[in-house]
Amino acid sequence: MSTQYDSIGAKYDTLSVMPIQQIQHVAMKRLIGPFDSPKRVLELACGTGFYTRQMVSWGASHVTALDISPAMISTAQKALPAEMKDHVTFCVANCARSNIWDSAELKDQKGTFDLVVAAWLLNYAPTGEEMQRMFENVYSALKPGGKFIGLTVHAAIIDMFQPDDPLNENEKHLGAIYEVLGRVDDGYRVCCHAFTEPELKWEFYFLREDVYSKAALEAGMGGLEWNVVLPGEEHVEKLGKKYWQSYLDRPKAAICISRKPYCE
């Protein structure tokens, strides 16, 4: 994963103008902030720092932002406004490995975070075991009762995808399509093909919903609550129902939420 994002770097931000990205941003803001009290946040897979900056603006007292790609972290650091620098710590780390807690930025911080946010992390787990390791880091990070919010694929609709997917033609106007590259034990290996300038491609995994649930529970987290990302009225009014129909037929993004139990 690091290699493909090292080559993408700042070009990833060209996706932000896409309406399908903008409805994700609205959904994440609704579920995350603004904060009603100061919160310590751990952000896994921060990318170029879009949600890092947003969460500081929403009132987070401090955000510790991790990403596996040095290029992404460098871009995020450069994009951070000067007035936010005291509220953010960046760190290059593989969020699926337990040794993240050995880094200087995270040493002695287990169990100190109110919230863990992961936008497009869980979909990089090729297996349930790898996803469980991601959730184990979430569990280790959170205070008892702390919350996890993860933007990922809409796992419940996995059966609507197939190799040589005929529905892709109807979705190209949305700006990106998922190309199924092959089957894995728990789902599909997928390529996201974004029609940006320049065009971007990267690979990830579309695993079943029960794999997500099992990974969270076996890591010690509570059950997952799923929130499908859908266009709001303002987006439908702006672009029309016809524009959104193919996305409404199979909405590809969802946000899963879980809490660390108060009692182990």
In the block, tokens 């349930």 appear at 128
Domains of the chain: 2-156+208-259 (3.40.50.150)
Cα→Cα distances 38→52, 107, 127, 140, Å: 15, 21, 35, 20
The answer to whether the CB of 239 falls within 8 A of the CB of 20 is no
Average pLDDT score over residue span 230-243: 97
**Per-residue pLDDT for 200 more than 80?**
yes
**Per-residue pLDDT for 1 more than 80?**
no
Distance in angstroms (rounded) separating the CA atoms of residues 64 and 100: 12
pLDDT given for residue 163 in this prediction? 78
Distance in angstroms (rounded) separating the CA atoms of residues 106 and 101: 5
* pLDDT per residue as tens digits for the range 154-183: 999 999 988 777 778 889 999 999 999 999
Q: Quick one: CA torsion of 99, 144, 35, 55, rounded to 10 degrees? A: 10
Average pLDDT score over residue span 190-199: 90
**What is the 8-class DSSP label of residue 99?**
G
Using alpha carbons, select from 184, 181, 176, 185 the residue that is nearest to residue 162.
Answer: 181
The proportion of the chain whose per-residue pLDDT surpasses 70, expressed as a percent, equals 94
pLDDT given for residue 222 in this prediction? 98
**Per-residue pLDDT for 5 more than 80?**
no
**Per-residue pLDDT for 3 more than 60?**
no
Distance in angstroms (rounded) separating the CA atoms of residues 184 and 126: 8
